[in-house]
Amino acid sequence: MGSASRIITRIGVVLTAVVVSSSPAAAGPARAPAPPQVVAFPGDAVRATYDWPLHPRPRVVRSFDKPAQNWLPGHRGVDLAAAPGQRVLAAGAGTVVFAGAVAGRPVVSVDHPGGLRTTYEPVEPSVTAGRRVGRGDLLGTVIVGHPECAATACLHWGLRRDREYLDPLPLVRAVPIRLLPTGTGQARG
């Protein structure tokens, strides 16, 4: 990996060029291409404030699969291989905003600075709502019962900003840079 790639990875910003083309049928003067769009991902500073909710570092059993719309099927978090009774730790500092059952499953939710909320389930909570926690503080223990878990037990770890579901893995590991297509590749004259 070249030094430029390392710098981009370190600052955690990916630039995506957006090409704006006009159809020949469009009326009016030609428009200039849009400036590059900056898409921010958690960088080293954010990763330094978050850690895995299970120790040792767990295996990811099922990845994040964001649905096209919030009401459609998808997987709104990641499933981490765990052992029944394994300690669940706060991924980052924040305030416990919920510790109880949702649809019959025990859940713990923690609000973090910057509008982020992490969720952990199924967890037998050892905390109550309103408690301030630091990164690595005990939230509870994993219990068996996460549906579609491909391991003995799984911790479903979720992340949201407001109502938007996000992949929690960038909080704890570097995000690979992916080049996105910028158009059809056909020149217009």
Q: Verify that 91 and 151 share a domain, yes or no.
A: yes
pLDDT at res. 52: 95
pTM of the model: 0.66
Structural domains counted in the chain: 2
Q: Verify that 2 and 74 share a domain, yes or no.
A: no
Q: Verify that 87 and 154 share a domain, yes or no.
A: yes
Q: Verify that 91 and 36 share a domain, yes or no.
A: no
Which region among 27-36, 78-87, 148-157 has the lowest average model confidence (pLDDT)? 27-36
Indicate the pLDDT class of residue 182, thresholds 50, 70 and 90. low
| Domain membership of residue 109 as a residue range | 51-171
Q: Verify that 9 and 75 share a domain, yes or no.
A: no
Q: Verify that 116 and 60 share a domain, yes or no.
A: yes
Q: Verify that 67 and 24 share a domain, yes or no.
A: no
55: CATH: 2.70.70.10
DSSP lists the bridge partners of residue 82 as 153
